Amino acid sequence: QLSDQQKMSESPLSRFRGVYLPPALHPLNKTLVKGGKWKDVDSAQEKRRSFLHDFCKKYNSRKKLRTHLVHLVSRIYVEDRHKVLYCEVPKAGCSNWKRVLMVLNGLAASAHNISHDDVHYGKHLRKLDSYDLKGIYTRLNTYTKTIFVRDPMERLVSAFRDKFEHPNSYYHPVFGRAIIKKYRHNANEEALKTGSGVKFKEFIQYLLDSHRPVGMDIHWEQVSKLCYPCLINYDFIGKFETLEEDANYFLQLVGAPAELKFPKFKDRHSSDERTSAEVVRQYLKELSKEERQLTYDFYYLDYLMFNYTSP
């Protein structure tokens, strides 16, 4: 029994340290799905769900993450009208997903008219950690929770190309300068000043360094640490590799307007070749065998959870 004084001094959130939400597998509510064309997508969905559930049962028996509930849900976007929770995984269709959430929420008439800056800096969508504890729990327990993932190496290379191979007023001075300073011998003054021109090998050295000169970033953070798929029971697991059919099936599940379809357009650098397995292969050639193995090890949990084959 806590004394009144202890109760007063205890932070209301400290009780939620070590929170563990058992990943019970609830059946998906498919009452709003129309037509028989979703059979294959639905079958793939059920396989992914049961695969992740079985993995988490094994994994969680050995390890429970001790972390605040509020931290667990900090990357989850809320759409209250259709009762949707979407965990953002950068470089896996997240910009277009945010556009769709804005349309679902009545903030825009069409996903096609929303600019990149409006999506990422407009603060139109609420995140789950902005609600009180009751609001968080209610939504976790009653809304349809979705996550969209991507092959970890493809996601990593896509993030590198986007942030370091194009002009960028944040990633070059903040990450680029620190990376060049620490990992490039005899770097010239210009490179040290601007942080432009980071090589993929230097970027990987930074990623694998336990004493990184700058912290992690959501664009290359592991999905296991962004969305906690073994602690939060996601109802729907979409994949970037089958993005459109997965997304459009999900929109049916939550009763989205019939005319709303997931956008097909590439958000930025639309003239660039998409990051494919072949593109990834070219980048991985720049690394030593050991660096390739360590990079795979870094994303090992993501490979396992979502049943991706090792490169």
Query: Rounded CA gap, 72 and 255, in Å?
Result: 27
Query: Rounded CA gap, 253 and 10, in Å?
Result: 42
- The token duo for 101 is 């959430």
pLDDT tens-digit series, residues 42-81:
999 999 999 999 998 888 755 555 668 888 999 999 999 9
Residue 110 located in a structural domain:
yes
pTM: 0.89
Domain count, the chain: 1
Residue 147 located in a structural domain:
yes
| pLDDT surpasses 90 at 157 | yes
Helix (H, G, I), strand (E, B) or coil at 76: strand
Which of 21-30, 57-66, 137-146, 149-158 shows the lowest mean pLDDT across its residues? 57-66
Phi–psi pair at 279, nearest 5 degrees: -60, -45
Residue 84 located in a structural domain:
yes
Residue 42 located in a structural domain:
yes
What's the mean per-residue pLDDT of the chain? 88
What's the gap between Cα 159 and its chain centre?
12
Q: State what percent of residues in the chain have pLDDT above 90.
A: 70
Beta strands across the sheet bearing 76-79: 126-127, 76-79, 84-87, 144-149, 236-239
Residue 134 located in a structural domain:
yes
How many residues are recorded in the chain?
Answer: 311
Query: Rounded CA gap, 261 and 248, in Å?
Result: 6
What's the gap between Cα 208 and its chain centre?
20
Residue 2 located in a structural domain:
no
**Residue with more model confidence, 21 or 169:** 169
In this prediction, residue 124 carries a pLDDT of 80
**Residue with more model confidence, 270 or 58:** 58
Residue 116 located in a structural domain:
yes
In this prediction, residue 23 carries a pLDDT of 55
Query: Domain range spanning residue 229?
Result: 38-153+221-275+301-306
Residue 254 located in a structural domain:
yes
